[in-house]
Amino acid sequence: MLIDISRIQDIFAVFVLIILYLLVGYRPPWLWKHEKNQKTIDNIPGPLSLPFLGTRWIYWFGNYSFTKVHEVYADLFRRYGSIVKEETLFNIPVISILDHKDIEKVLKSSGKFPVRPPTEVIAYYRKTRPDRYASGGLVNEQGIVWHHLRTNLTSELTSPRTIASFLPQIDQIIEEWCSLIKQVRVNERQINDLKPLAERLGLEVTCALVLGRRMGFLLPDGISPNAQALANAVHQHFLACRDTFYGLPFWKIWTTPAYMHLVEGEETIYTLALELITSANEEARESAVFQSVLKASVDDREKTAAIVDFIAAGIYTLGNSIVFLLHLIGSNPECQKKLIDDLSVGSTTYLKACINEAFRMIPTAYCLARVSEQDLELSGYHIKAGTVLLCHTGLACKNDSNFTNACKFEPERWIGDAKTSTVSTATFLVTPFGIGKRICPGRRFVEQVLTSLLMNVVEQFNISKEDDLELQFEFILAPKGPVKVFFDDKN
Ligand code: HEM
């Protein structure tokens, strides 16, 4: 009898094992074959990856420079095709994509809380200062924490009504900037370097919106030491992000100069933001954006962090975009003439087309980063959820297969019959402010500033340029060297 029971147990155990094998171990031959043939992330071409160091060595020992990352990617795509694999430290893959359909697929696949990879060095620094930061902040947080910050801190910044009510102040600031141009011109026409002047405008108008204060960045006899410190801090902040991201990663072990610069930049912006919050005057109390941040239902530390993030994310990007826009207009006298004609009949159609076209030609945020939230098929490769993907929208915009005469400044492509086909391609490629739920909350404000700027500038000046613009990578695209532009008075 005992023997019989143990035999039954054996049979039962074999039966359970067969079931388990069928459930988890068995793959039908067709599926097996498919998996074997399927190209995975391991098959994506790219530079040689070294154990532990990955492919970052191309910047340290190769011919590539991280001041020219935009050119590095153009070269990588030329060598390896429209999908390229790099590996960061510890061999974590980062996939760069150029194909329009792939970019669209990635940007469309984001869920409720799109994941943009955080800037590691900022996330690290903020964790070392729990006295100041309750989280990584709006730019670097993910998931439910990001959603909580976004909903509570950006409603006024993104509100059309708030930005429209700020328009008179924008116009006044632009008017002051045009006066400044007149005062600092050499021989009543020549601006030897447009960059610092564009940065001062970016600073003044962004601080006026975010802090509700005029900071005096446009005073003709130079700016105050405090204001200069803020301008330097924001610039330093971007360079330090670039250097810690692409440079040797020693900042993780000891305090490198790049890490020191980042800390200095963050601390200067933070100290100033805190000072302005605690000393808010009548003017500041009337500022909708500033007030909405102060009254938000979030931890007090998040409020100062949000002001820091708005300043850091807004000023430098805006300054660079102003240089790119005015240089492109100065390089295209025909377009300038059409723009003036169109404005003279009360239309802003051509002006808006010029701004779209400038963003297509030189987007300061030259690519969009996401972490895939689901498995994706990109250019025939199976990409697992959780992979870091870089959508190279800036390079795709310069591709003739996406836009005819892609390297030419042609605002006409955004008008009339041509518009429909341009817009259908542009939806996922001309994305200077990003796309989806993580889109830049400063977009509406920036568009308003650029519209008012271009209108005022072409009404007062004929702009022209001497040299071509050279670009440099400073974590975003920035002009390299002095940008000489002529501002001749209109007769
Ligand atoms: C020309 C100027 C600007 C450009 C080109 C720009 C571009 C961008 C881009 C590309 C993103 C990422 C979007 C994405 O991943 O889909 C972003 C995010 C962000 N920007 Fe801007 N931006 C500009 C100005 C501003 C201004 C003026 C502010 C604030 C006053 C601002 C605040 C932010 C913030 C807080 C984020 C993070 C949003 C989030 O993750 O939810 N930006 N910006």
Helix residue ranges per DSSP H, 212-256: 225-246
Match 């003709």 to its residue by tokens.
220
202 lines ligand 1 (CB under 6 A): no
Up-side HSE of residue 314: CA atoms within 13 Å toward CB?
29
Dist. CA 55 → ligand 1 center (Å)? 29
Separation of alpha carbons 121 and 245, rounded Å:
8
Report residue 227's pLDDT band, with 50, 70 and 90 as the boundaries.
confident
Alpha-carbon span 103 to 60, nearest angstrom: 29
* Ligand 1 close to Cβ of residue 318 (< 6 A): yes
CB of residue 115 inside a 6 A radius of ligand 1: no
DSSP symbol at 50: B
Strand partners, 382: 40, 377
The string of pLDDT tens digits covering residues 291-339 is 899 899 999 999 999 998 998 888 889 999 999 999 999 999 999 999 9
156 pocket-lining for ligand 1 (C-beta < 6 Å)? no
Tell me the chain's radius of gyration from C-alpha atoms: 26
Q: What is the rounded end-to-end Cα distance, in angstroms, of the chain?
A: 115
- pLDDT band of residue 9 (cuts 50, 70, 90) is low
Ligand 1 within 6 A of 365 CB? Answer: yes
Query: What distance in angstroms lies between residue 53's CA and the mean position of ligand 1's atoms?
Result: 31
Note the maximum CA span of the chain. 115
Q: Which two tokens stand for residue 105?
A: 């697929």
Q: Is 84 helix (H, G, I), strand (E, B) or coil?
A: strand
| Residue 391 assigned as binding residue | no
* SS3 state at 220: coil
Written as six digits, the tokens of 104 are 């669209």
In short, whether 138's Cβ falls inside 6 Å of ligand 1 is yes
Chain-centroid distance, C-alpha 110: 17
- pLDDT in the model for residue 30: 42
Ligand 1 closest atom vs CA 364 = 5
Which atom of ligand 1 is the closest one to the Cα of 315?
Answer: 27
Residue 290's closest CA among 299, 271, 303?
A: 303
Residue 2: its pLDDT value, please? 47
Query: Measured between alpha carbons, how far is 30 from 44 in angstroms, rounded to an integer?
Result: 24
pTM (2 d.p.): 0.90
Distance, CA of 29 to CA of 196 (rounded, Å): 65
| Mean pLDDT, residues 278-289 | 77
Q: Is the CB of 432 under 6 A from ligand 1?
A: yes
Angstrom distances, CA of residue 81 to CA of 44, 70, 75, 400: 10, 16, 10, 16
**Residue 298 pLDDT:** 95
Minimum CA distance residue for ligand 1 atom 25: 314
Given a cut of 70, whether residue 114 has pLDDT beyond it is yes
Beta bridge partners of 86: 94
Q: Which atom of ligand 1 is nearest to the CA of 320?
A: 1
Question: Of all atoms in ligand 1, which is nearest to the CA of residue 434?
Answer: 16
Query: Please, where are the H alpha helices in 21-119?
Result: 29-37, 57-60, 69-80, 100-108
CA distance 243 to 92: 19
Taking the C-alpha atoms of residue 117 and residue 369, their distance in angstroms, rounded to an integer, is 7
Q: What three-state secondary structure class fits 447?
A: helix
From atom 14 of ligand 1, which residue's Cα is the shortest distance away? 434
Mean pLDDT score across all residues of the chain: 90
- Please say whether the beta carbons of 268 and 229 come within 8 A: yes
Most confident of 4-18, 249-263, 354-368: 354-368
> If we measure between CA atoms, which residue out of 174, 33, 84, 166 comes closest to residue 388?
84
Q: Band of the pLDDT at 35, cuts 50, 70, 90?
A: low
Question: Rounded CA gap, 324 and 317, in Å?
Answer: 11
- Provide mean pLDDT across the span 388-410: 97
In ligand 1, the atom with minimum distance to the C-alpha of 368 is: 15
Cα 435 to chain centroid, rounded: 11
Supply the DSSP string of 342-407, one letter for each residue.
HHHTT--HHHHHHHHHHHHH--SS--EEEE-SS-EEETTEEE-TT-EEEE-HHHHHT-TTTSTTTT
**What backbone phi and psi angles, to 5 degrees, belong to 64?**
-85, 150
- Concatenate the DSSP letters of all residues of 285-309 into one string: HT-HHHHHHHHSSS-HHHHHHHHHH
Which segment of 60-69, 175-184, 222-231, 455-464 scores lowest on mean pLDDT? 222-231
Cα of 314 vs centre of ligand 1, distance in Å, is: 7
Mean pLDDT score, 345-355: 97
